[in-house]
């Protein structure tokens, strides 16, 4: 089997590299096409997979009005691919986003008859929600797809809400909920968390300091625990002193007034992050929007129960109280209540975290994708 990947955001995350490498290890032959913006040009020659997987590129030159010319971009990518022999030997297309990649896959399917799988990301959900004029195209892409992959049960529910009643059931039958995998670094260093020391509850957030991450509400929730008599330390990892965003500056200002907050600059040092996870007890990230959130899984690998937003992140994979809780992100009281529930049942909840971190092993996920691809060949 040969799979042709369309990946609009390949250079924006290391996730795709782990995914492609794991698929290759499972015996899938692959080829990848990436639309490239000027800022990504230097990364092409440093692409670690280019020696083992054939890559091709379409140069995209965005302007302030690029989003208004979405179809022009799609035509440009399609034109590069619609060449004699361009899909020779390819048995399946995997479009890694609904609109940017899915629109190209739809055109190739109509021209060459090659079936395609399409993935749904948070940005796709937001486009369908706020840019209503994209819904017709989105529904058309979904209708002609052999399968639809979505990483969050909450996002599946949201996606189906954009469908018309007659097509909702058809689309739902095509949908498969498959998680992203976590960097193998974390699964090779799984460690059970020691029993909770109630003398100090160590809370942790890891991520950027954007408004979407809802860090100020996390601070308010931790403050409620303080007023209830808990001894709390909240570590916030992310952002930098020079961050230009107003929200990040606000987080720093508020944090500077509270002695129980420890602010740590953004880091890509996994060993440093590992130690931070191991020195913490509960992970909080009640974001406003989260495609998946691999930091939840990193926390689980070190035995930390997690708190996420209802309908976001890993919510829906496990029942409340299994590895943590889903909360209402606008309600610090709800977040504080769920933290107290975790504290009161810490050892039981923490004991499940390590074993469920293994659910996000790329090798197992790749085998599931291989089976999915096989089932799509006769679509």
Domain boundaries, the chain: 2-181+361-376, 184-360
CATH architecture of 2-181+361-376: 3-Layer(aba) Sandwich (3.40)
**Residue 43 backbone zone (phi > 0: left; psi -120 to 50: alpha; other: beta):** alpha
Pick the CATH number of 184-360 from 1.10.240.10, 3.40.50.2000, 3.20.20.70, 3.40.1390.10: 3.40.50.2000
Collapsed DSSP state (helix, strand, coil) of residue 90: coil
Q: What is the C-alpha to C-alpha distance for residues 49 and 329, in angstroms, rounded to an integer?
A: 38
Where do we find the tokens 């709800």? 334
The answer to whether the beta carbons of residues 206 and 237 sit under 8 Å apart is yes
Tell whether pTM > 0.95.
no
Question: Can you give the pLDDT of all 379 residues of the chain as single tens digits?
Answer: 899 999 999 999 989 999 999 999 999 999 999 999 888 899 999 999 999 999 999 998 766 555 557 888 899 999 999 877 667 667 899 999 999 999 999 999 999 899 999 999 988 999 999 989 999 999 999 999 999 999 888 889 999 999 988 889 999 999 999 999 999 999 999 999 999 999 999 999 999 999 999 999 999 999 999 999 999 999 999 977 666 688 999 999 999 999 999 999 999 899 999 999 999 999 999 999 777 889 999 999 999 999 999 988 889 899 999 999 999 999 999 999 999 999 999 999 999 999 999 999 999 999 999 999 999 987 7
Which residues lie below 8 Å from residue 193, measured CB to CB, with a gap of 6+? 278, 281, 302, 303, 304, 350, 353
Token pair for residue 224? 């409620």
b/e 277-292 (16+ beta carbons within 10 angstroms → b): beebbbbbbbbebbbb
């Amino acid at each position: 089997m040969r799979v042709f990947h369309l990946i609009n955001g390949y250079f924006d995350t290391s996730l795709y590299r782990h995914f492609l490498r794991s698929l290759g290890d499972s015996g899938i032959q692959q080829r990848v096409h990436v639309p490239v913006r000027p800022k990504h040009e230097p990364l092409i020659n440093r692409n670690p997979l280019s020696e083992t997987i054939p890559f091709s590129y379409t140069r995209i030159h965005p302007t302030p009005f690029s989003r208004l010319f979405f179809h022009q971009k799609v035509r440009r990518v399609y034109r590069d691919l619609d060449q004699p022999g361009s899909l020779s030997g390819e048995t399946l297309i995997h479009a890694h986003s609904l609109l940017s990649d899915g629109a190209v896959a739809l055109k190739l399917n109509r021209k060459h008859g090659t079936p395609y799988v399409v993935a749904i990301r948070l940005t796709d959900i937001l486009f369908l929600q706020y840019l209503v004029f994209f819904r017709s195209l989105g529904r058309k892409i979904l209708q002609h797809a052999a399968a639809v992959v979505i990483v969050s049960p909450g996002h599946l529910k949201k996606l189906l809400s954009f469908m018309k009643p007659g097509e909702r059931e058809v689309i739902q039958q095509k949908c498969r909920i498959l998680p992203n995998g976590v960097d193998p670094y974390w699964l090779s260093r799984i460690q059970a968390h020691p029993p909770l020391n109630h003398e100090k509850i160590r809370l942790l957030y890891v991520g950027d300091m954007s408004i979407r991450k809802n860090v100020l509400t996390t601070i308010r929730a931790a403050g409620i625990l303080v007023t209830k008599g808990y001894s709390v330390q909240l570590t916030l990892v992310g952002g930098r002193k020079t961050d230009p965003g107003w929200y990040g500056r606000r987080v720093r200002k508020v944090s500077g007034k509270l002695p129980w907050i420890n602010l740590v600059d953004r880091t890509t040092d996994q060993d440093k992050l590992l130690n931070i996870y191991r020195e913490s007890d509960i992970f909080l990230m009640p974001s406003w929007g989260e495609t998946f959130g691999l930091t939840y899984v990193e926390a689980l690998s070190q035995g930390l129960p997690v708190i996420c937003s209802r309908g976001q992140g890993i919510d829906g994979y496990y029942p409340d109280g299994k590895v943590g809780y889903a909360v209402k992100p606008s309600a610090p009281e709800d977040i504080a209540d769920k933290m107290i529930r975790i504290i009161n049942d810490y050892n039981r909840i923490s004991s499940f975290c390590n074993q469920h971190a293994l659910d996000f092993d790329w090798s197992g996920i790749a085998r599931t994708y291989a089976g999915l691809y096989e089932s799509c060949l006769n679509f």
